[in-house]
Amino acid sequence: MSGLMLLDTPSLYYRAFYGIPESVTAPDGTPVNAVRGLIDMIAMLVRQHSPGELAACMDADWRPAFRVAAIPSYKEHRLAPDGGEETPDTLAPQVPVIERVLDAAGIARLGVPGYEADDVMGTLALRPRGAADGGVDVVTGDRDMFQLVDDAVPIRILYTARGVKNLQLVDEAAVTAKYGVPGRAYADFAVLRGDPSDGLPGVAGVGEKTAATLITRFGSLDALLKALDGDGDLTKAQRSRLEAARDYLRVAPEVVRVAHDAPVPDVTLALPPEPRDPQALTELAGRHGIGGPLGRLAQALSWSWRA
């Protein structure tokens, strides 16, 4: 077994929540569709990819202050009346259960105050690793994470857009084939294109094709802005659009680029050879009716534990 697998845990439990009926409930009648789905996803990923290390990365702050300060519209459409994240009523109570399950199992659960799960994944993926440590697989449904792909490490994205059973392996060649830019330039490309789902306006009049053309021609957003300030090879329309978006382009990179230096604690990420707290896991299995998924996780991890 080798390599590090990083889980975009919120992305996965949202996918489980919407992919499994809410009629899947605990003995007391409360929905556990997200809990069961996530556990089964982890079991499947471990069984199929055999990582040596595993980290369930969490949103300690889903809308970090430093990103909102740069672009106030960042994820603004997801705000609940109380200022928190708008979350389905039947999903919110399942998140603490997911956290307790991960902790009892001994799977590293990592979140950093003031940062999103993306930043935790970015920091862990880019930490120096020896050749013997293997590569990094990032499991996510967020295409912004394509900015991390690096064939040299390697860092790959296991993209869940078609489901965990039909993962798309995204490396540098895949990013270039899809968007026309190398993976290392994806963040700059995304700044120009924008992303309405995150409240990022992008540059008006610049779609994916133009964004890819500009980044490919100039190599980076910084080089493009230098060309804008000088006599760079820009059409009149391109120059006008970029000038109109200059304030946005000045701050957007800090929002789009994942952090590489979040203060992620230095903890062991090795797969647990046995549950950290077998009794707690057994109690969770009974209380929430998740003995089946936990049994499949135990089998994937080669535990002798039984619900």
Q: Give the integer Cα–Cα distance in Å for 137 and 154.
A: 8
Q: What is the dihedral of CA 85, 86, 91, 96, to 10 degrees?
A: 20
Query: Considering the chain, what percentage of its residues have pLDDT values greater than 90?
Result: 93
Q: Give the integer Cα–Cα distance in Å for 157 and 263.
A: 23
**Length of the chain (residues):** 307
Closest by Cα among 206, 189, 203 to 246: 203
- The answer, yes or no, to whether residue 131 has pLDDT greater than 80, is no
Residue-wise pLDDT for 25-64, tens only, equals 999 999 999 999 999 999 999 999 999 999 999 999 999 9
Residue 183 is predicted with a pLDDT of: 87
Residue 184 is predicted with a pLDDT of: 87
Report the 10 Å Cβ neighbour count for 58: 24
- The answer, yes or no, to whether residue 1 has pLDDT greater than 90, is no
Q: Give the E-state strand segments of the chain in sequence order.
A: 4-8, 53-57, 108-110, 136-140, 155-159, 168-170
At 272 the three-state DSSP class reads coil
At 18 the three-state DSSP class reads helix
**Residues with Cβ within 8 Å of residue 10, at least 6 apart in sequence:** 58, 59, 62, 117
**H helix intervals, 106-171:** 117-126
Q: Which residues pair with 136 in a beta bridge?
A: 4, 155
Q: Confirm whether pTM is higher than 0.85.
A: yes
* Structure-block tokens of residue 250: 């000045």
At 270 the three-state DSSP class reads strand
Upstream peptide bond of 265 is cis (omega within 30 degrees of 0): no
Average pLDDT of the chain, as a whole number: 95
